[in-house]
Amino acid sequence: MSEKEQDKKKFLNKEIVGKAFKDSFKKLSPKNMIKNPIMFLVEIGCVIVFILAIFPNLFGHTTGTGDVRVYNLIVAIILFITILFANFAEAIAEGRGKAQASTLKQTKQNTKAKLLDEAGNIKIVNADELKKGDIILIESGDLVPNDGEVIEGIASVDESAITGESAPVVKESGGDFASVTGGTRVVSDWIKVEITVTPGESFLDKMIKLVEGAERKKTPNEIALSTLLLSLTIIFLVVVVTLYPLAGYLNVKLSIATLVALLVCLIPTTIGGLLSAIGIAGMDRVTRFNMIAMSGKAVESCGDVDVMILDKTGTITFGNRLAADFLPVGDVSKEDLIKQALLTSLLDTTPEGKSVVDLAEKLGITDSIDNYKDAQFIEFQAQTKMSGMDLKDGTRVRKGASAAVKDFVKNLGGVIPSDLDEKVEQVSKYGGTPLTVCVENKIYGVIYLKDTVKPGLVERFARLREMGIKTVMCTGDNPLTAETIAKEAGVDDFVAECKPEDKIAVIKKEQEQGKIVAMTGDGTNDAPALAQADVGIAMNTGTTSAKEAANMVDLDSNPTKILEVVEIGKQLLITRGALTTFSIANDIAKYFAVIPAIFITAIPQMKVLNVMHLYSPASAILSALIFNAIIIPILIPVAMKGVKYRPMKAELLLLRNVLIFGVGGVITPFIGIKLIDMLITPLCRMLGM
């Protein structure tokens, strides 16, 4: 990896920071600031105080605190810096998304497409001229111009521009691996593709808009928290306005600048400045994990998930039936069966054939095709339902469907072993595929092919269980097979012989109990359930309909990542809660720092509350304001990276965050404001404040 690429991988780099600094000033526009009412109020206060720095007698009185112009100017500057820091936090969070969007835009280029007419003739057109339903030909070396479904042919497709995975993916018509994405490249063979979207609405276009933040909407939790913070702001505004006549009654002169500064110190500016950055950073963490979240709500919902519905084929299992065991019949030894099964599979390039060779090697039996140079490989055919090898001496070795092999042996005058049907039925009962092996007219036994559970799932499902998340596997298999796979994978429950409508019923049943349900899937038949679930996660290798129905797409098509996605969702909620707790605790501490210092001369009894012994009311105000400003950039890394999530009970998690961010939020301002007061005391003395 080059130094430039490494720089891009960093949490922050010079390019992102530089751009964020410029954007901080651009975001000062009232049109932008009004989206964040708390910081907009700070901006209004900044403007008022700055005007008072130029015209100190505008409202007919002064503070009696040293040089009024200088005091007002210092307050205005600190307020301005506070706004810039809040804008910088948001710009930094957006910066990573915009950097990724820039990379994606380089992938999206105005490519040419080979449009096929009804007669099969090729016409070269621009990709943006393609319409939904058009049929195009994509050959080796061509870029896929837009999203579509393979309707003919088979090809290897390089999806690294989208997924970052360098290994090509095989795409073919039919099944769940027929979807191709605009911006990817065909690296071998050819495919005919039917375009499924109109220009500007491709998966890549949606990715660019999402990572740029252009379509980011506030989530319900954000809206609720924003409403709470705005309510607190209004309450403190009323309190500060009320203080003015109260101070006058006590013969304490409070300037407009002091009242504005006091208001800014008391309202939740810390979380107000970081709230947007937390939401953007949460979506960015998902994106950097090679997941595309279609909304912030989807990420948040992941943090609240109670039930996980998982499709079996392609999600829990590989989907390809692989050799799991060899079952000899009659007087045949297992070793002899393995040798003959291996012989039938040496030149078999199918996943099943390769798995037979791999299993034989694991059991200590190997062979080489070099020993059979004059032999002829017999490929599987739908008519014969068998494959195998004809040796040089004419010996025929076959594997295939039990009925086909039995007919083959009977035609050669062989005898069917009495326990063959029992072994075949045994494999079938467990949902496996039995392949019978014979040499000429003698049957040696059965190869047990089974759908294999993906590695690592047992441990990950155990971790989900620790988080209190129930896992349910849905499969079309019979109950016996479903139970076997469920036990092997470690899921909590399963639904056998499950049809698409059954998946929806399972999701609705859980939702009716007030639970948040997540669903993963990759096929067209999964689309309705993905749409019904609170969190629908589609595999990128899946069909277009599945991806359109879901609100999250896994670019790596790795269902085991669902654990990390849940943790990211929980981390987002915890981070927002932790920083909100810290911000409100800060405000409480600042209240005790500032109010006593202001009224101590008029009300000597308040001396007991003046625990920090700040130099003067002016230094108390300025120290609290400075602390209020600098705490925002200090917390930017926490907002961006998130508070680390540890699987534990909700009550323990709440207690931990209250102790760390609640108690810490109260103590930190006392220390910070006192230190700042000590530093600015010489300046206050010099200015007579």
58: confidence class by pLDDT, cuts 50, 70, 90: low
Q: What is the pLDDT of residue 546?
A: 78
Q: Is 387 helix (H, G, I), strand (E, B) or coil?
A: strand
Q: Is the CATH code 3.40.50.300 the one for domain 131-198?
A: no
Cβ 143 vs Cβ 184: under 8 Å? yes
Q: What are the C-alpha distances in Å from 101 to residues 204, 206, 212, 326, 645?
A: 10, 10, 6, 52, 28
Which of 317-326, 354-363, 365-374, 589-598 has the weakest average pLDDT? 589-598
pLDDT tens string 358-387: 999 999 998 888 888 888 888 887 778 899
Average pLDDT estimate for 139-165: 78
Q: What is the pLDDT of residue 4?
A: 40
Other CB atoms within 10 A of residue 253 CB: 13
Report the C-alpha dihedral over residues 644, 648, 653, 655, rounded to 10 degrees.
-130
Annotated binding-site members for Mg(2+): 522, 526
Q: Look-up: residue for tokens 């080059």?
A: 2
Average pLDDT estimate for 661-674: 87
Q: What is the pLDDT of residue 165?
A: 52
Cβ 637 vs Cβ 576: under 8 Å? no
Looking at per-residue confidence, does 146 or 654 come out higher? Answer: 146
What is the maximum alpha-carbon separation in the chain?
A: 119
Helix, strand, coil proportions of the chain in percent (round to 5)? Answer: 55, 15, 30
pLDDT above 90 for 519:
no
* H or E, element range at 310: strand 307-311
Q: What is the pLDDT of residue 342?
A: 92
* AA letter at 568: I
**Tell me, what DSSP letter sits at residue 111?**
-
Average pLDDT estimate for 66-78: 83
Using alpha carbons, select from 134, 167, 170 the residue that is nearest to residue 155.
170
Structure tokens at 486: 């469920």
57: confidence class by pLDDT, cuts 50, 70, 90: confident
397: confidence class by pLDDT, cuts 50, 70, 90: very high
* H or E, element range at 78: helix 68-107
Annotated binding-site members for ATP: 348, 352, 380-387, 399
Q: What is the pLDDT of residue 326?
A: 94
Average pLDDT estimate for 478-491: 82
Cβ 181 vs Cβ 204: under 8 Å? yes
CA 343 to chain centre: 46
Other CB atoms within 10 A of residue 114 CB: 18
Q: What is the pLDDT of residue 6?
A: 41
Looking at per-residue confidence, does 321 or 149 come out higher? Answer: 149
Average pLDDT of the chain to the nearest whole number: 80
Using alpha carbons, select from 257, 243, 225, 223 the residue that is nearest to residue 67.
257
Helices (H), 199-316: 203-212, 220-249, 256-266, 269-288, 296-303
Backbone φ, ψ for residue 624 (5° rounding)? -65, -40
> What is the Cα–Cα distance from 676 to 273, expressed in whole angstroms?
21
DSSP string of 405-421, one letter each residue? HHHHHHHTT----TTHH
Q: What is the pLDDT of residue 110?
A: 61
Domain range list for the chain: 3-100+211-287+568-687, 131-198, 291-316+454-555, 318-452
Write the CATH number of the domain with boundaries 291-316+454-555.
3.40.50.1000
Looking at per-residue confidence, does 299 or 227 come out higher? Answer: 227
Catalytic annotation, pick one of 311, 451, 534, 677: 311
Give bridge partners of residue 443 from the DSSP assignment: 438
Q: What is the pLDDT of residue 203?
A: 67
Residue range 318-452 forms a domain whose CATH class is alpha beta
pLDDT tens string 441-471: 999 999 998 877 877 788 888 888 877 888 8
Q: What is the pLDDT of residue 648?
A: 66
Q: What is the pLDDT of residue 260?
A: 87
pLDDT above 60 for 87:
yes
Structure tokens at 282: 């949460």
Q: Please, which residues have CB within 8 angstroms of residue 189's CB and are 6 or more apart in sequence?
A: 140, 153, 154, 155, 156
Q: What are the C-alpha distances in Å from 227 to residues 223, 232, 301, 406, 661?
A: 6, 9, 20, 74, 22
Q: What is the pLDDT of residue 416?
A: 92
Which of 22-26, 77-81, 554-558 has the weakest average pLDDT? 554-558
Q: Is 67 a catalytic residue?
A: no
Backbone φ, ψ for residue 236 (5° rounding)? -65, -30
Cβ 311 vs Cβ 520: under 8 Å? yes
Looking at per-residue confidence, does 286 or 215 come out higher? Answer: 286
Q: What are the C-alpha distances in Å from 144 to residues 109, 182, 193, 555, 613?
A: 11, 5, 9, 17, 70
Q: What is the pLDDT of residue 2?
A: 39
Report the C-alpha dihedral over residues 106, 107, 109, 114, rounded to 10 degrees.
160
Q: Do the bridges between strand 535-539 and strand 517-521 make them parallel or antiparallel, or are there none, so unpaired?
A: parallel
104: confidence class by pLDDT, cuts 50, 70, 90: low
pLDDT tens string 222-258: 778 888 888 888 888 888 888 878 777 777 777 788 8
Average pLDDT estimate for 547-553: 81
Annotated binding-site members: 348, 352, 380-387, 399, 522, 526
